[in-house]
Chains A and B, each alone.
Chain A
Amino acid sequence: MKPYLAHARAAALSALAYRANFLLSLGGVAFQLIALLAVWRVLLTGGQVGGFDWPQMRAYLVVGFASATLVGTFVDFRMSHRIRSGLVALDLVKPVDYQRARFAETAGGVWIEVVAVVAVVAVTVAVGGALRTPSGPMLALFAASMVLLVPLKFAVSYLSTLACFWTENFVGVLWARQALTSLLSGALVPLAFFPGWLATAAQWSPFAGLTSTPALIFIGRASGTHALLLVAAQLGWVLAMWFGARLLFRRGLRRLTVNGG
């Protein structure tokens, strides 16, 4: 456990070293939140659209902002570089599990994001009034869903970064991931706005757990057994992707050694 804590601590420290840049990039995302709020406010002045009223949509977007900000570390950037340059071979010599070490780094950087999210949510509440919070058990489920978000988001980015074993081009992979994620997670628009088949498919995909699931539980559009199932799906995807990634990593490594790095 100790080496992983060291990784987490180092990541926590470096998050601080580039705090100015972190704050600026956060500013960009926060600005976007304000703007999206503006868009939906205009759309929802007449009442409901797609079953969402304004207070619901506002809460949905705030949760969406939180989930977009969390786990935004640059572990994937460094990892892609080390894979492409073959330096990953050096990391494997260390007496730590590669995947766990990367997760520790990711988790280590989360604290600064949590601080930022709390601050932005506080401002939002101060400006636009309190958010309706769900009842006790659902609040607990929401919290669980947010916690699961960390390993889930890590798994998605880790898995996609492994593509660097097969391609030189990480940026392309990253963009495709971000585009698909923003659409299928419900970050751009709630999944309920999609045609039925797409909404259902997205809802049970790993991406829904990145925004839609916690946001829907928070605003009460998912509750009871349905909510429980959605969180279970999050957990299921975390496990499946965690072990799937191990499999993929081994295959990638074999490729690296065959090609001589």
Chain B
Amino acid sequence: MRTVRLYVRLLGAHVRSLLEYESDFWIMMAATVVMQVVNVVFLAAIFAKVPHINGWSFWAVVAMFAMVAIAEGVGSLFFEGMWNLAWQINQGDLDYMMVRPYPVVLQVSSMQIGVNGLSNIVTGGLMLGFALANLAVDWSAGRIAAGVVVLLSAIAIKVAINLATNSVSFWMQSPSPLFAFAVHQVGDLARFPLSIYPLALKAALGFALPFAFVSFFPVSFLLGGGTAWVGLLTPLVAAYCLAVAWFVFSRGLRRYESAGN
């Protein structure tokens, strides 16, 4: 509990400096909204010509896009510091973090707030809301509860993948996390229904980098149907991803060489 309270404290310390640059705040918000609008326009343009992609309707795909937006939003708003890890390793900035009585990984991830996360969560939430309203979901108390768990797990998966891929920076010399960016881009593929991909990609997105559990499986779980049960595995996948991310980070930290040698 103290860990969580302290996390909020560390993150909260940056709120004031964030508000110092008000115009920046609005630029980030606007940029993120533009990105999501572009996504919806793109989908609308395609679905204006075809009714379904492999049986998935416009709104189902919007829901998948929304899930990615929400997961990314949470990642930016609460764990943006992970994206600075490469820079901090390169500059030797972890030195002081390693002599403080708080987990280094949490000090790293709380070093920054990505305000764009806020607009991603809001626009993603709106998209998901509209999508669910337009989809025939068979709501029941159990489904709602399971839905919430699956949603939270999906977010955890995205954050864990961010951590694991950014931790790769311990093995690289570059000051920017290009590997993590590359994987992040791969994650964008999971916004489409997994079923359209060839087998190798299905395997990649389902197992190796389980982005499919961020969007496709959770949404298909809510919509019901043939493979809906796979969505229920999301919490397990989340636990697995978090464990792997923690392992990679810890191993990386042992390799940390500080700077100036």
Contacts and interface: CB of A to CB of B under 8 A. Distances in A.
A180 B34 CA distance: 8
A188 interface: yes
A179 B181 contact: no
Interface in B178-195: 178-179, 181-186, 188-189, 192
A173 B31 contact: yes
A74 B72 CA distance: 24
B24 A172 contact: yes
Contacts of A49: 49-50
Interface residues of A, number: 37
Contacts of A35: 189, 192, 197, 201
A167 B24 contact: yes
Given A21-B178, A32-B186, A168-B24, A193 B35 contact: no
Nearest to A37: B198
A18 interface: yes
Interface in B5-45: 21, 23-24, 27-28, 30-32, 34-35, 38, 41-42, 45
B24 A42 contact: no
Given A21-B179, A24-B178, A176 B185 contact: no
Interface residues of B, number: 39
A179 B31 contact: yes
Contacts of A169: 21, 23-24, 27-28
A193 B49 contact: yes
A39 B196 contact: yes
Nearest to B188: A32
A118 B213 CA distance: 34
B21 to A, nearest CB: 6
B178 A167 contact: no
Contacts of A28: 181-186
Interface of B, secondary structure class, is helix
Given A35-B189, A42-B54, A194 B45 contact: yes
Interface string A10-38: 00000000101110110111011011001
Contacts of A171: 28, 31
Q: Which of A29, A168, A173, A179 has the most CB of B within 10 A?
A: A179
A172 B32 CA distance: 8
A122 interface: no
A185 B192 CA distance: 21
B53 interface: yes
Q: Which of A21, A32, A168, A173 has the most CB of B within 10 A?
A: A21
Interface string A157-200: 00000000001110111011011101100001100011000000
A168 B21 contact: yes
A195 to B, nearest CB: 8
B25 to A, nearest CB: 9
Interface string A36-52: 00110011000001100
A21 B30 contact: no
A175 B49 contact: no
Nearest to B186: A31
A183 B43 CA distance: 11
A167 B23 CA distance: 7
Q: Which of B49, B54, B174 has the most CB of A within 10 A?
A: B49
- In the A-B complex, list the 4 residue pairs whose CB atoms are closest, starting with the nearest: A28-B182, A172-B27, A21-B178, A169-B24
Given A34-B201, A179-B34, 14 more contacts: A32-B189, A35-B197, A38-B198, A43-B50, A49-B50, A74-B176, A168-B21, A171-B28, A171-B31, A175-B28, A180-B38, A183-B38, A188-B38, A188-B42
